[in-house]
Structure formats: C-alpha cells, structure tokens
A and B are shown apart, each in its own frame.
Chain A
C-alpha cells in the first residue's frame, strides 16, 4: 500500500497523458477566451460612460475577489437551471476559467494601454485619424506586445488551476490521477506524477517568459 511502485506508475501513465491533453485543451481555449474578453472589458472601461464602466468595474472586482471553484459550481448549476443553457462540463470549465482570468487580463491590458505615450494620441488627433484606426493602427500595436509576457504568465497560472475542473466532472490531469489512484488505492504515484507534469511543463515556460520579458523591456 505504501512506497513507490514503478509498475503502477507506468500503468497509469497513458491515462494521465490523456488527462494532460484535456488540461491543454482547457488551458488553450480558456486563454483565448480570457485574452479576448479581457481586451473587451479593458476597452469598455475606457468608454467614460459611467453606468457602463461602473457595472463592468463591479463585475470585474466581484469575479476577481471570489474563488474560481465556487464560480465553476455556480456556472455548472446556474447555466442549465436558470438560463436553460445545457453545456458539456469542459465547456463550462473553459467559460469559468476564461471569464475569471479575463478579469485579470483586463487589468494587464489597461496598464499596457496607459503606458502608450500621450504624444501618440495627440499625433493621431493632429492627423485627424479616425478613432477606430487610432486604436487598431497606433495604440494597440504598441500596447499589446508590451503586455504579452504578463498575459503569458496568466496562461501558466491558468494551466495550474485547471485541476479545479475535476469538481465539475472534467477528466483533466488531476482528475485522471484521482481516478487511476482510486483503482488500486495508490495515491502516491498518481499525484506525484501529476505534480511532476505540472512542474516539468510550467517551469520551462516560466523561464521562457522571463526571457521574453527582458527582451520586451529592452526594446522599449
């Protein structure tokens, strides 16, 4: 029952890798949602239309200050019950991750946009560039590259939070580990390997991001 069994570890490896795949899918889709929704939120907060910005700010603070786990439960029950929307567990999980992390990325985008020098706005005004073009041609091309390292960091964080999805029935890495461990009541190999996967994937990614951060810092 105790100790380490290499045989068992190898036996469960395929299942864990299958779970890891789901983890990747959830992370990628969740990130896409977080990156796009976050930008939308950041832009909404700049409209200066007080009822809207107050509502958005309230929503952002609420989601940011409360546990993702409870938000996942909330979506899992409320979407079908109150709104009649029936979705698969993975979809609900991706929405939960995406919306939660959008509230973080919104702040990142805000900082990036604020960092674009005022003179750029003024030059665009002096040239009478239309507002939309000013955003797409001048401001965002300067703001977004600067914040890519921070966005990348959030993807890595999201990757490490995907295990929460097991609570709503998604068979990602830790969920798979839990299942496999349960078959023989051997949890040491299962969770240790899951932890190792996270470390082996997120640590190099973090190092890469730090290097990117330095390069972006130098370019500006």
Chain B
C-alpha cells in the first residue's frame, strides 16, 4: 500500500492548485458580499434592506448544487454565457457563502453595544467614520469564529466543483484515480479526506492568528466561549 501512495499523492496534489484557487477566490468574494449585503441589511433605506434580504434568503434557501448546475449548465442555454468551471465555481461559492456571511456581519455589528454608537455620535463622527473607526473594528473580532466555520464550509464546498468538471482534489480522486485503481478506493479516498482535513486546520490556524491580531489591536484577549458558541450556531450548510 505505501508504494501506491507514491503514485496517488502526486496525482491528488495535481488537484490542489484548483482547490486552493477556488477556496481563495470564494473567500474573497464571500467577504466582499458578506460585508456589502450585511451592512445593506442594516441600512436606513428600506429598498436597500429589501434587496439585500432577497439576496440573502434566496441564496440561503436554495441548494448550492442547484445554484452550481444552474450557473454552469442552464445559464449558457439561457443567455449564451459559458463560464469556465473555476470561475463558475468561485462565483457560486461566493454568492452562496456570502449570503450566510451577510448574517454573520449583521449579527456582529448589531452586537456592538449601543453605548459605542452614542459615544461616536457625541464625538461628532460622521456615520461612515463611526462605522469604519468605531463599530466595525469591534464587530470584526466577534465575526472571526463564525467566519472560520463558514470558510471551512466553503473549502468543503469546493469538492462540489468536481461535478462541473473542475480538476480539483475530489476530481483527481474520484474521476482520475478511482476508475484506474478501483480496489484501492479506500486508500485513495481516505488520503484525500486527510488532505481536506489538513487544509481545514490551516484555515483555522490562519483565523486564530487573525483573531489574536484583531484582539491585540483592541487591547483584549479572545474568549474561548465565543468560539464554542460560534460552532454551535453556524452550521453545515447553515
């Protein structure tokens, strides 16, 4: 079995760049949409809130697989636009997880104590300054544990991109190796699962670092309880 690993691992790793690219691209788009839609949910203007709410509920309420298939298979037939698998994947990952992220942002901003708003108003800061300099820095610290979970969700979702022919980790395992080495499916699939686990741990490590840094800038320590609460609240497919 160990000899086969020397064949399997390089082949699997051929899929790693796409997994990483999809994850990174997805995370970037998720963050952009999460903040955009999340803050829009808190807007004073009703139309803005409504549009954002439609986006959030629409993407949270439908299956990610359907969103993926629609974008990759239906859209070309509808409007003649064919995206390559990687971009289609990043788009769906971002749209889907951005919707969940919007709720995280909204919740965290709303959890900043009222007193902070009032202090900022008393100092005559503009609403934009208030948000940027006072509210968001404090909210961001609260967001990190739930976003950690969300990003791991996103990483797991990159496996779906194998269904639209992206040659990432799962594709390499399921479409390349298993057909050739059917009896070794156990080893192949277990190895790729371990690879995903390692990537998950890497994401968590990076987020912990970010949390530590963010708390440093605020002058306080992170709470273990916030991490546990975040685990219990955000979910698989939230």
Contact = CB atoms under 8 A, between A and B. Distances in A.
Chains A and B touch each other in the complex, with CB atoms below 8 Å apart = yes
A71 B171 CA distance: 14
Contact of B66 (A67, A82, A101, A195): A195
B237 A66 contact: no
Interface stretch (A46-54, A88-96, A133-141, A197-205): A197-205
B78 A74 contact: no
A202 B70 CA distance: 18
Contacts of B66: 163, 174, 177, 191, 194-195, 198
Contacts of A181: 73
A218 interface: no
B165 interface: no
Interface residues of B, number: 51
Task: Tell me whether chain A's interface is mostly helix, strand or loop, or mixed.
Answer: helix
B69 A62 contact: no
Interface in B45-81: 57-58, 60-67, 69-70, 73-74, 77-80
Contact of B174 (A73, A107, A111): A73
A199 B62 contact: yes
Contact of B74 (A67, A77, A187): A187
Given A77-B178, A202-B61, A178 B235 contact: no
B134 interface: no
B7 interface: no
A173 to B, nearest CB: 8
Given A66-B193, A70-B192, A157 B61 contact: no
A216 interface: no
A188 interface: yes
B77 A187 contact: yes
Interface in A64-121: 64-71, 73-74, 77-78, 81-82, 100-101, 104, 107-108, 110-111
A150 B232 contact: yes
A67 B73 contact: no
Interface stretch (B27-35, B109-117, B155-163, B210-218): B155-163
A9 B3 CA distance: 52
A35 interface: no
Contacts of B73: 181, 187, 191
B83 interface: no
A70 B193 contact: yes
Contacts of A68: 156, 236
A149 B51 CA distance: 27
B196 A67 contact: yes
Contacts of B233: 150
Contacts of B186: 74, 77-78, 81-82
B99 to A, nearest CB: 12
Interface in B155-182: 156-160, 162-163, 170, 173-174, 178, 182
16 contacts: A2-B80, A65-B152, A67-B157, A67-B170, A69-B162, A74-B190, A77-B182, A77-B186, A157-B236, A157-B237, A160-B64, A161-B237, A192-B70, A194-B66, A195-B62, A206-B60
Given A162-B63, A163-B66, 6 more contacts: A65-B196, A67-B156, A69-B162, A101-B236, A104-B235, A150-B235
